Amino acid sequence: MSLRAIYYDTETTGIKPDRDRIIEIAAYDPVRHLHFEKFINPGCPIPAEATAIHHITDEMVASASSFGQVAQEFMEFCEGDVVLIAHNNDSFDVHFLRNEYERHALQMPAWKFLDSLKWARRYRPDLPRHTLQFLREIYGIAANNAHRALDDVLVLYALFSALMDDLSIEEVYQLLNHPRAIQHMPFGKYQGKPLNQVPHSYVQWLASTGAFDKGENQELKVSFQRLGLFA
C-alpha cells in the first residue's frame, strides 16, 4: 500500500454535523506541493459565536459557491490513493464531510482517513493536552492565523511530520486502524496482571467511568473485546 497524504481542515457554522454547515475547506498535498482553499456559502447565517473563533463572516462567504459546487473540485484535488489527515478528524471533520455530501445527494469517494489527534495522544501520552495549537508550541512551529483552515492545515503538516518520527504514512495508518493486542493491564489496581485475569466487574467499572472513550485506551478496549470481557 502506497498512500499519498493530504492534510485538510474545515471551518463550520457550529459543532453539530447534522445541523451545521461547512463554510471553508482547505487542504495541502505535500507530494505535489499544491494547496486547496475555498470558502463555501452555507445558505444560512453564520452564528456570531462561530465567527468569533474563525473570523469568517456572512459577507466573506456571500459570493462563494455552495458545497455541491466545491465538492467536485475537492474530489479532483484528492484524486488517487490518498489518506486525508485532519486533527480531530474522527469526531469532527469527517462527519461534516459525510453530511454535506449526503445533503447534496453526492457520493463521497472511498477515501481513507487518519486522525492526527488520536496519533498525538498515542505518540505523546506524556503531554497534558493535544490540541493543535498546544502541540504547535511544544514542537516550536511558528504561529499563524489559528482557526483558519489553510493556516491550520500547514501547521498540521509540520506537526504531523514530527509526530510520525521515522514511520511512514502507511505504518501510522496501519497502527491506528489495526491496534495491537495488549497482554497485561497497563494501569490501575490490576497493573501488570494478564488481561484474562482482570475481573469482569473491574472491566465494566472502567467502561462506566468512560476510560475506554479515551484515545490512548482504544487498544486496551479492543484487547478486552477480543477476550469477551467487554462488549
The catalytic residue positions are: 147
Q: Which residue, among 137, 181, 139, has the nearest Cα to 161 in the 3D structure?
A: 139
Q: Which 8-state DSSP code applies to residue 194?
A: B
Q: What angle do CA 103, 104, 105 make, to 5 degrees?
A: 95
Name the grid cell of 16: 453539530
Alpha-carbon span 79 to 71, nearest angstrom: 12
Dig out the grid coordinates for 13 from the structure: 457554522
196: which residues sit within 8 A by CB, 6+ positions away? Answer: 227, 229
- Whose grid coordinates read 489553510? 150
The residue among 127, 148, 147 whose CA lies nearest residue 139 is: 127
Q: Give Cα 129 to chain centroid, integer Å.
A: 15
Tell me which H or E stretch contains 28. Answer: strand 22-29
Distances (CA, A) of 18 to 66, 103, 200: 17, 9, 37
Q: Which amino acid is at 212?
A: F
